[in-house]
A and B are shown apart, each in its own frame.
Chain A
Amino acid sequence: MSVETILVFNNLFAILTLIAAAGSIGLLVYRAVKGPEAVALLGDKAIWLAFTVALVATIGSLLYSDAFHYVPCRLCWFQRIAMYPLTIVLLVGAIRREAVVKFYALPIALIGLAVSIYHNFVQFFPSLEGGSCDPAVPCSARSIEMFGFMDLPFMAGIGFIVIAVLLAFYTKASE
Chain B
Amino acid sequence: MTATKKPKPGTKDTKSYSTLWWILGGIVGLGLIVALAFSIASEEPVDESLGYGDPTVTGDPLPVYAAGQEDVSVGLTAPTVEGADWEGNPVTIEANGTPKIIAFLAHWCPHCQADVPVIQQWVNDGNLPDDVELISVATATDRLRPNWPPQDWLEEEGWTAPVIMDDQIGTVAGNYGMSGTPFYVVLDGQNTNLGRVSGEIGTEGVEALVALAQSSEQ
Contact = CB atoms under 8 A, between A and B. Distances in A.
B49 to A, nearest CB: 11
Contacts of B46: 3-4, 7
B109 A133 contact: yes
B123 to A, nearest CB: 21
A68 B103 CA distance: 29
A172 interface: no
Interface residues of A, number: 29
A135 B37 contact: no
Interface string B28-39: 000001101110
B150 to A, nearest CB: 13
Interface stretch (B71-79, B124-132, B139-147, B185-193): B139-147
A45 B180 contact: no
A104 interface: no
B108 A141 contact: yes
A8 B140 contact: no
B89 to A, nearest CB: 26
Contact of B144 (A6, A12, A133, A138): A6
A16 interface: yes
B199 interface: yes
Contact of A132 (B44, B108, B173, B182): B182
B37 A15 contact: yes
Contacts of B182: 132
Contacts of B198: 131-132
B52 interface: no
Contacts of B140: 135
A135 B145 contact: no
Interface in A112-162: 123, 126-127, 130-135, 138, 140-145
A133 B41 CA distance: 28
A140 B181 CA distance: 12
Interface string A21-53: 000000000000000000000000100000000
B200 A127 contact: yes
A143 B67 contact: no
Contacts of A11: 36-38, 40-41
Interface of A: 3-4, 6-12, 15-16, 19, 45, 123, 126-127, 130-135, 138, 140-145
9 contacts: A11-B36, A15-B37, A131-B198, A132-B180, A132-B182, A132-B198, A133-B181, A141-B110, A143-B144
Given A132-B200, A135-B106, 19 more contacts: A4-B42, A7-B44, A7-B46, A11-B38, A12-B33, A12-B37, A123-B110, A132-B183, A133-B108, A133-B109, A133-B112, A135-B170, A135-B173, A138-B109, A141-B145, A142-B145, A144-B145, A144-B146, A145-B147
